[in-house]
Amino acid sequence: MYSDDPWYDALASGWGETDVTHAPDAAPPVAKDVYLEVQRSAAFQEVRGRYRRFVMPAVAVFLAWYVAYVVAATTAPGLMARPVAGAVNVAMVAGLGQFLTTFLLTWAYVRHARLRRDRAALELRWEMQELTRVTGGGAS
């Protein structure tokens, strides 16, 4: 079975299907209208809002930290060359801090998605799949 629906999951097809019967005079909704309806829904807006409330500040903080590192490396070589412990200097510590920050940010993003967005997004996915199934597989 082929579907133009980007949310179609072949492994989940058939699970939980109900016999959907329509009134003979009622036309099934067009897939495009279903997508727009879900996009306008409060649940979708909440998922997008939660995503933006995490990502925008995280990106701003990480970019500020990265730019500060690059600016310090180019404008204050004396500061960056200052030894911290043996042959390890401030630049090395800050550079390793960039990697650590990347890993911490990735962990925080995954945790935030798992706790704050995944369940709501999955519910939206199932709702979308059920609504588009009524349209005949996503044809618009």
Overall pTM > 0.75? no
Residue type, 55: V
Burial of 51 (0-12, 13-18, 19+ CB in 10 A): middle
DSSP state of 115: I
Over residues 14-54, the pLDDT tens digits come to 555 555 555 555 555 677 777 788 788 888 888 898 999 99
Over residues 69-101, the pLDDT tens digits come to 999 999 999 999 999 998 999 999 999 999 999
